[in-house]
Amino acid sequence: MGAVTLFFNRKAQEEKPEDVLMDIEVYSCADNDCIGWMRKDFASSDLKCPLCGHDTTMEVRELPKIN
């Protein structure tokens, strides 16, 4: 059997820009047993939880900026 040589490119990892965190408005599920939430920019028109269908409430979370 021959030897296998592996190369790893760490340069790509080092050049990755850091995530910029911002205060973003989100709609969070009002049901305490559900962890569903969605960004305001991507919320459905009826503002129902995407996981369970319950009503949602608006809150602010610190999330990465989406370009």
Q: What share of the chain is helix, strand, coil (3-state, %, to 5)?
A: 10, 35, 55
Burial of 31 (0-12, 13-18, 19+ CB in 10 A): middle
Measured between alpha carbons, how far is 39 from 21 in angstroms, rounded to an integer?
Answer: 14
> Among 60, 67, 62, 58, which residue's Cα sits nearest to residue 29?
58
**pLDDT score at 36:** 96
Neighbour tally for 38: CB within 10 Å:
18
**pLDDT score at 67:** 75
User: Does 48 score more than 70 pLDDT?
Assistant: yes
Model confidence at 4, pLDDT cuts 50, 70, 90, reads confident
